[in-house]
Amino acid sequence: MKTGISRRRFLQNIGAGTVGAVLANVAFPASIAHASAAATVTTAQAAAATTPEVELLIGDVTGFSLTGDEWEGAFGWVTFQLHEAWYNGEPVYYIRTDASDQTYAADNHLLWVPLLNAAVAAEGSAGQLYIFENGADGQAPVVNAVPGDDAYSPLWQIHNVTFSGSPTVLDSVDAIREAEANGNVTIEASALYVNFPVVKWPGGELPVDTELNSYLGTGPLVSAPDTDAMRVTFKLHECYPGSRYIVTDTSAVPMAPMMSIAPSGPTQALAEAGGTDEIWVFGNGIPGSGVMGFQPAIFDNTAGSPAWSPFWFHLTAVWVDESQARVITSSAELRELIEAGDIEVFNGTPDTHPNGFVVNCPVPIRARNTFQDTH
Q: Is the pLDDT of residue 300 over 90?
A: yes
Instruction: Give mean pLDDT, residues 233-246.
Output: 96
Report the pLDDT value the prediction gives residue 369, as an integer from 0 to 100.
92
> Is 29 in a helix, a strand, or coil?
coil
Q: What angle do CA 66, 358, 149 make, to 5 degrees?
A: 105
Read off φ and ψ for residue 246, nearest 5 degrees.
-115, 165
pLDDT, mean over the chain: 87
CA distances from 280 to 8, 97, 291, 324 (A): 18, 22, 11, 18
Percentage of the chain beyond pLDDT 90 is: 80
Region class of 274: left (phi > 0), else alpha (psi between -120 and 50), else beta: left
Q: Is the pLDDT of residue 35 over 70?
A: no
**What is the rounded CA–CA span in Å between residue 43 and residue 231?**
18
Binned at pLDDT 50, 70 and 90, residue 354 comes out as confident
Contact 43, 333 (CB under 8 A): no
DSSP letter for 4, please: H
Report the pLDDT value the prediction gives residue 374, as an integer from 0 to 100.
62
Q: Is the pLDDT of residue 13 over 50?
A: no
Q: Is the pLDDT of residue 225 over 80?
A: yes
Instruction: Give mean pLDDT, residues 202-218.
Output: 96
The sheet that has 111-112: what strands, in order across it? 111-112, 98-99, 185-195, 155-163, 127-132, 142-143, 83-87, 90-94, 198-201, 204-205
Helix ranges (H only) for 165-248 are 173-181
> Is 288 in a helix, a strand, or coil?
coil
Per residue in 42-73, pLDDT (tens digit) is: 332 333 233 348 999 999 999 999 998 899 99
Model's pTM, two decimal places? 0.87
Domain ranges of the chain: 83-199
**What is the rounded CA–CA span in Å between residue 226 and residue 200?**
10
The partner residues of 287 in beta bridges, in order of sequence, read 294
> Is 178 in a helix, a strand, or coil?
helix
Q: Is the pLDDT of residue 31 over 60?
A: no
